[in-house]
Amino acid sequence: MTSIPDYMTAKHRECDEVFSLAESNAAAGDWLLAAKNWQAFKDELLTHFGQEEETLFPAFEQATGMTNGPTHVMRMEHQQMRALLQDIDQAMKGQDKNTYLGLSETLMVMMQQHNMKEEMMLYPMMAQHLSQGEDIIESFKA
């Protein structure tokens, strides 16, 4: 059985790794490979957002009664990251290396400050307040 912090944190790292691959490919001008890794990153990131927004956040809100607190901020930041994904899609299509790298650095900063808040505060709180946490994670793995 895996805990919420362990599983979700590991997913952050996996996202970071695919993200870095796509970024290195773009920096080297290998757009074909960059597009493939970028797509893999987006799929992974959006699945992760979905698991949080549709399952974990509602469960946390129900358990704590905090609907307008941290999960609300996290949801808004997800929206901002989704917007950045679209901007990077455009740079990728236009094979515009400088814009791609500027935006990918931006997304990196946004993801990391977002991840820090989740990993250091929100996930440990979820582990504390959600008695069925490990079952939820098992359902994600399935």
62 contacts other proteins (rule: CB under 8 A): no
- Helix or strand or coil: residue 69? coil
Q: Tell me, residue by residue from 105 to 124, as one string, x for binding to other proteins by CB under 8 A and - for no binding.
A: xx-xxx-xx-xxx--xx--x
Torsion over CA: 34, 37, 41, 47 (sign):
positive
125 contacts other proteins (rule: CB under 8 A): yes
79 contacts other proteins (rule: CB under 8 A): yes
**DSSP for 18-36?**
HHHHHHHHHHTT-HHHHHH
**CB 107 → other proteins: shortest distance, Å?**
9
User: Residue 66 half-sphere exposure, CB side, CA atoms within 13 Å?
Assistant: 14
Residue 44 or residue 77: which is nearer to other proteins going by CB?
A: 77
Residue 20 or residue 39: which is nearer to other proteins going by CB?
A: 20
